[in-house]
């Protein structure tokens, strides 16, 4: 099968950073399904793994944790899928990814794709939807029936995770949703996603919130550059508030600053369930199916920013370069293999 992979970490402008290669087509065992990959999306995790993970001797690293496709075959213990099913998934960080014509994925991490989307559009959603859903509803435990909904500030709301988190929070909770974005175009993007308000994270946050009438907010989720915003986050959070993050801060955070206000800290990694084979791993299948229903009902909009064409090394190098520049808006998708 055709695949895009590498063996040694390189900067993305190096010709060996990502290569077009041929690999054996895998065979499903146990609860695995074999997905014929139709489209993929590129995420920051792809660039981080590429910069840090080396292949074992004689092996290749195949990236990619966002895909849509068609079930080609199933393992003997699979109960929820059959060949021909249209599916979507983010997969498992420890296994070969979706930059390939075929990928093995545990069925508990796979959902049925929305009927209303094509493959390329569908590929933009799994990883970000899982991350946003788990942060909002598993970590922060937000609920529509909250008797006293507060305010949710999402820092970095114009990116892939932010774009879907804004929508989920607006559709499934009664919280006041405030997003941050630093450019006019990204601010418009956040408002279009459903945020009640948008402020600029390149400027002090407290005065902007005060202008909106908020002395404090009950919940903050920081999706990027948490170390740069941390002191302000502690300042603007209400006593007994909740702080969630998903990134890897460049400097250590002094969590002692949270004590005075009894602020709860929540960290989200959507790969935790698959990394540790948790008893509730199938929760990812369930939430992907719920997200598909929301999409088909018109309540959730895909977050495609750009379509970069066919799945090949040249196009994926372009996609990685754009992500690393910090200028991407929404998700970058690719679909199909040449020939």
Mean pLDDT (the chain, rounded): 95
Q: Is the pTM of this model over 0.85?
A: yes
Q: Is the pLDDT of residue 288 over 80?
A: yes
Q: Is the pLDDT of residue 329 over 80?
A: no
pLDDT for 160 equals 85
How many CA atoms are closer than 13 Å to the CA of 307, on its beta-carbon side? Answer: 12
Taking residues 79-94, what's their average pLDDT?
97
Listed in sequence order, the residues at least 6 apart from 246 whose beta carbon sits closer than 8 Å to its beta carbon are 131, 135, 161, 221, 222, 223, 267, 268, 269
Q: Which backbone phi and psi does 184 adopt, to 5 degrees?
A: -60, -40
Identify any residues that bridge with 61 across adjacent strands, giving them in sequence order.
6
Q: Is the pLDDT of residue 314 over 80?
A: yes
How many CA atoms are closer than 13 Å to the CA of 196, on its beta-carbon side? Answer: 17
Listed in sequence order, the residues at least 6 apart from 312 whose beta carbon sits closer than 8 Å to its beta carbon are 4, 20, 337, 338
Beta strand extents in 146-236 (DSSP E only): 151-155, 176-180, 197-199, 217-222
Taking residues 18-47, what's their average pLDDT?
97
Distance of alpha carbon 91 from alpha carbon 89, whole angstroms: 6
Listed in sequence order, the residues at least 6 apart from 58 whose beta carbon sits closer than 8 Å to its beta carbon are none
Listed in sequence order, the residues at least 6 apart from 221 whose beta carbon sits closer than 8 Å to its beta carbon are 135, 136, 140, 152, 153, 154, 155, 165, 243, 244, 245, 246
Confidence tier at 145 by pLDDT (50, 70, 90): confident
Taking residues 136-154, what's their average pLDDT?
93
Instruction: Write out the DSSP string of 233-259.
Output: HHHHEEEEEEEEE-S--SS---GGGGT
The residue ranking higher by pLDDT, 293 or 144, is: 293
Span 89-139, pLDDT tens digits: 999 999 999 999 999 999 999 999 999 999 999 999 999 999 999 999 999
Distance of alpha carbon 197 from alpha carbon 190, whole angstroms: 9
pLDDT for 339 equals 59
Q: What's 135's DSSP letter?
A: I
Q: Report residue 145 as tokens.
A: 């029936």
Question: CA torsion, points 49, 50, 56, 57, in degrees to nearest 10?
Answer: -170
Answer yes or no: are the C-beta atoms of 130 and 284 closer than 8 Å.
yes
Percentage of the chain exceeding pLDDT 70: 100
């Amino acid at each position: 099968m055709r695949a895009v992979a590498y063996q040694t970490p390189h900067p993305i402008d190096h010709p060996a950073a990502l290569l077009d290669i041929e690999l054996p087509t895998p065979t499903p065992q146990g609860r695995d399904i074999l997905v014929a990959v139709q489209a993929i999306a590129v995420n920051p995790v792809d660039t981080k793994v590429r910069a840090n993970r080396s292949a074992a001797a004689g092996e290749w690293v195949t990236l990619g944790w966002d895909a849509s496709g068609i079930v080609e075959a199933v393992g003997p213990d699979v109960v929820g899928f059959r060949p021909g099913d249209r599916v979507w998934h983010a997969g498992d960080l420890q296994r070969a990814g979706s930059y390939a014509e075929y990928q093995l994925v545990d069925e508990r991490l796979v959902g049925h794709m929305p009927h209303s989307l094509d493959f390329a559009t569908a590929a933009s959603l799994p990883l970000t939807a899982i991350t946003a859903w788990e942060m909002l509803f598993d970590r922060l435990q937000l609920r529509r029936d909250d008797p006293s909904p507060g305010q949710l500030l999402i820092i970095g709301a114009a990116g892939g995770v932010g774009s879907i988190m804004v929508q989920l929070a607006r559709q499934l909770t009664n919280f006041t949703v405030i997003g941050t974005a630093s450019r006019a175009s990204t601010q418009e993007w956040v408002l279009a996603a459903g945020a009640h308000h948008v402020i600029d994270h390149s400027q002090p946050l407290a005065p902007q919130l005060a202008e909106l009438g908020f002395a404090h907010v009950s919940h903050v989720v920081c999706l990027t550059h948490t170390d740069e915003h941390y002191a302000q986050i502690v300042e603007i959070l209400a006593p007994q508030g909740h702080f969630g993050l998903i990134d890897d801060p460049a400097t250590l955070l002094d969590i002692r600053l949270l004590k005075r206000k009894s602020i709860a800290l929540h960290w989200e990694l959507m790969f935790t369930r698959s990394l540790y084979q948790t008893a509730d791993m199938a929760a990812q299948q369930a939430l992907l199916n719920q997200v598909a229903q929301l999409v088909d009902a018109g309540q959730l909009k895909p977050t495609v920013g750009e379509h970069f064409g066919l799945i090949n090394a040249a196009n994926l190098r372009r996609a990685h370069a754009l992500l690393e520049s910090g200028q991407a808006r929404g998700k970058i998708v690719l679909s199909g293999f040449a020939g």
